[in-house]
């Protein structure tokens, strides 16, 4: 077999365990202050390589800028966002996640930390979001990030929905069930106590 027949690391996907959560905490500017064991296991980075680094250390080149723009606008207002993100592992492989964010403030109302919890994204959703992200990346490269943003806004306006609603529609679940899906399994302890009901949701999303 010719060596060109082998896929490059960039073509290779890391399959996530749908019951486990990838968690990280950053300061107000997105500098990593904590990453859980599963984050390190999947990204391939050691703790000392992540601490103090900007979170874009795992940014994948296929991700459109506009998605992160929307993400930061939302979390800087203290709002959650369920984004579908393709991440880059240290060895060049990739993994798709679905996010859940939480923002913590000090007593003066300044942002102290952002918490991100991520779980495996169902493959049928990945296929659809990949098409959209490819279009957005192409517009960003051939025209400009602003044009991609206008395209994205136009698309959502036409559907009369927000980015999250777009994602929820793709997933076929409502916001409450998605939040409980993250909350119940967001800790190592919770991970082992996913209720039968949540397992049902998991099953629906991953079959
Ligand atoms: C708590 C938190 C978690 C984040 N998680 C990710 C992530 O998993 N993948 C990613 O590419 N960006 C993530 N980001 C966004 C990055 O900070 C960054 O905006 C993004 O990678 C795009 O890079 P850029 O801002 O340099 O263009 C996260 C930000 C915060 C605050």
Average pLDDT over residues 65-73: 96
For 150, the enclosing helix (H) or strand (E) is: helix 145-159
pTM for this structure? 0.87
The residue among 42 and 167 whose pLDDT is bigger is 42
Average pLDDT over residues 146-150: 97
Average pLDDT over residues 25-42: 98
The minimum-distance atom of ligand 1 relative to the CA of 101 is 1
Average pLDDT over residues 181-207: 51
Question: Taking a C-beta distance cutoff of 8 angstroms, is the pair 63, 85 a contact?
Answer: yes
b/e code 64-96 from CB counts within 10 Å (16+ = b): bbbbbebbeebbeeeebbbbbbbbbbbeebbbb
The residue among 31 and 176 whose pLDDT is bigger is 31
Question: Taking a C-beta distance cutoff of 8 angstroms, is the pair 83, 167 a contact?
Answer: yes
Cα(200) to centroid of ligand 1, in Å?
30
* Per-residue confidence (pLDDT) for residue 6, from 0 to 100: 54
Output the average pLDDT for the chain: 87
Q: Is the CB of 59 inside a 6 Å radius of any atom of ligand 1?
A: yes
Q: Is the CB of 205 inside a 6 Å radius of any atom of ligand 1?
A: no
- Residue ranges per structural domain of the chain: 10-202
* Per-residue confidence (pLDDT) for residue 190, from 0 to 100: 44
Structure tokens at 64: 């459109």
- Report the distance separating Cα 203 and Cα 207, nearest Å: 6
Question: Per-residue pLDDT for 201 more than 80?
Answer: no
Question: Per-residue pLDDT for 157 more than 70?
Answer: yes
Cβ-based neighbours of 128, under 8 Å, separated by 6 or more: 170
For 164, the enclosing helix (H) or strand (E) is: helix 163-171
The minimum-distance atom of ligand 1 relative to the CA of 115 is 1
Question: Taking a C-beta distance cutoff of 8 angstroms, is the pair 191, 21 a contact?
Answer: yes
* Residue appearing with tokens 């749908």: 18
Average pLDDT over residues 105-134: 94
* Per-residue confidence (pLDDT) for residue 196, from 0 to 100: 44
* Per-residue confidence (pLDDT) for residue 182, from 0 to 100: 74
Per CATH, the number for 10-202 is 3.30.450.20
């Amino acid at each position: 077999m010719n060596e060109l027949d082998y896929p490059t690391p960039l073509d290779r996907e890391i399959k996530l365990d749908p019951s486990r959560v990838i968690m990280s905490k950053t300061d107000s500017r997105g500098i990593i202050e904590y990453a859980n064991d599963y984050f390190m296991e999947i990204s391939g980075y050691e703790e000392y390589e992540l601490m103090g680094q900007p979170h874009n250390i795992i940014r994948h080149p296929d991700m459109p800028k506009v998605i992160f723009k929307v993400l930061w606008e939302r979390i800087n207002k203290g709002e959650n966002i369920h984004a579908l993100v393709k991440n880059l592992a240290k060895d060049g492989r990739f993994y798709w996640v679905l996010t859940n964010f939480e923002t913590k403030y000090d007593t003066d109302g300044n942002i102290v930390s952002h918490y991100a919890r991520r779980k495996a994204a169902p493959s049928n959703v990945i296929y659809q979001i990949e098409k959209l992200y490819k279009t957005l990346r192409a517009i960003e490269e051939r025209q400009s990030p602003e044009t991609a943003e206008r395209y994205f806004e136009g698309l959502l306006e036409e559907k009369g929905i927000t980015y999250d609603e777009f994602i929820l529609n793709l997933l076929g679940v409502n916001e409450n069930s998605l939040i409980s899906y993250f909350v119940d399994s967001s800790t190592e302890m919770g991970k082992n106590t996913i209720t039968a009901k949540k397992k049902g949701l998991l099953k629906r999303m991953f079959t």
